[in-house]
Amino acid sequence: MELLFLGTNAGMPIRDRNVTSIAIKLCENGGSFWMVDCGEGTQHQLLKTPLKLNRLNKLFITHLHGDHVFGLPGLLSSRSSLGGTERLDIYGPNGLRELVETSLGITETYLGFPLNIVEIQEGMIVEDEDMTVVAAKLDHRIESYGYRMVERERTGALNAQWLSEMKVPPGPVYRELKSGKDVTLDDGRVIRSAEAVGKPLPGRIITILGDTRPCDNAVKLGEGADVLVHEATFAHELADKAHEYGHSTALQAAQIAHAAGAGRLFITHFSSRYKQEDLAELVAEARSVFTHTDAAIELKPYPINLSLLRSM
């Protein structure tokens, strides 16, 4: 799994940064990926990545401000034009259905795939064999959500050295053992999966928050997360301005990450007043509270590893 930030600017695009969108590459699932938010220009950013739009299968909208949704109609149209036929699930606040259906209807845009629009409430919104997703409201000027994505426990690693010492031939036998099945070899020996496979690996936790002031739900959603993505629209010297507009500072994002016990913090959604070279100051401000902070860089892949804090 990895994160790919497709846009990190707030309000409108600037020369060095696009508006908000994040792709979540699900490496174990054959190239499929999810997205959170879809600002204007998102599909153009996707063209600069290895991701294929017709492999997008879930899209989560945090809130309906334009810098988070103006790219949605075009992205849906292009997904259809590129031959996407599998269902796309879109989750988001009240009004999402009207936004999508009105824009597609007025423009007479035909989609060659089923579109499932879910206007969410707080709580569990996705529960499948691979992941669960919980949503909770944040504190912004309009209805805004954060999402906590939890990977299910994974099968432990094969003890290849032990299997080699036991002269177990690689191939189908390994796959059987990995799937939890005991195997009887041609010589009559029984190899137990429990002996050949290590302890189950805990699932990774990703928390991605929409625009918000500091609030209790931000901490709850980020509790023990391996990765927390939090907006940092302003430096803390503009804390009053951040509060007025329903946003957070870099320092406040770090305080949330610290309170949540997160493993790593990515700050994003930067005001246009900060050029790319200014982001180091925001990072330094955040690191004064939470050391494991980085400013999200667009189109740079960030692997999602189990955090050191959770593996200790």
User: Domains plus CATH for the chain?
Assistant: 2-154+201-311 (3.60.15.10), 160-196 (no CATH)
Query: CA of 285: how far to CAs of 159, 266, 310, in Å?
Result: 44, 13, 25
Instruction: Phi first, then psi: give them for residue 122, nearest 5 degrees.
Output: -65, 145
Query: Where is average pLDDT lowest: 232-236, 298-302, 304-308?
Result: 304-308
Rounded CA-CA distance 267/8 in Å is: 9
Per DSSP, 244 falls in state H
Does 67 count as an annotated binding residue? yes
Interstrand relation of 190-191 and 145-151 (parallel, antiparallel or unpaired)? unpaired
Residue 258, marked binder: no
Other C-beta atoms lying within 10 Å of the C-beta of residue 149: 25
Give the count of beta carbons closer than 10 Å to the beta carbon of residue 311: 11
β strands within 142-235, DSSP E? 145-151, 183-184, 190-191, 205-209, 227-231
Q: How far apart are CA 121 and CA 3, in angstroms?
A: 25
- Residue 17: per-residue pLDDT: 98
Task: Evaluate if residue 123 carries a pLDDT over 70.
Answer: yes
- Phi-psi map region of 197: left, alpha, beta (phi>0 left; psi -120 to 50 alpha): beta
Q: Identify the band that residue 156 occupies on the pLDDT scale cut at 50, 70 and 90.
A: confident
* Average pLDDT of the chain, as a whole number: 94
**278 noted as active-site residue:** no
Residue 139, pLDDT above cutoff 70: yes
Predicted confidence band of residue 79 (pLDDT cuts 50, 70, 90): very high
Was 65 annotated as part of a binding site?
yes
> Given pLDDT bands bounded at 50, 70 and 90, which one contains residue 131?
very high
Q: Are 196 and 159 in contact (CB under 8 A)?
A: yes
Is the pLDDT at 248 greater than 70, yes or no? yes
pLDDT (mean) for 89-100: 98
Does the annotation flag 140 for ligand binding? yes
pLDDT at 296: 98
What pLDDT is recorded for position 292? Answer: 97
User: Cα separations (Å) of 141 from 102, 115, 118?
Assistant: 23, 28, 22
pLDDT score for 305: 85
- Is 68 one of the annotated binding-site residues? yes
What's the pLDDT at 309?
62
Any idea what DSSP says for residue 142? S
Calculate what percentage of the chain has a pLDDT beyond 90. Answer: 78
Which residues make beta-bridge pairs with 152?
Answer: none
| Structure confidence by residue, pLDDT tens digits, 206-237 | 999 999 999 999 999 999 999 999 999 999 99
CA distances from 291 to 147, 203, 251, 281, 308 (A): 23, 23, 11, 14, 13
pLDDT over 90 (residue 179): no
The catalytic residue among 67, 89, 186, 240 is 67
Least confident of 80-84, 91-95, 176-180, 276-280: 176-180
Q: Taking Cα atoms as reference points, which of 87, 97, 85, 82 lies closest to residue 58?
A: 87
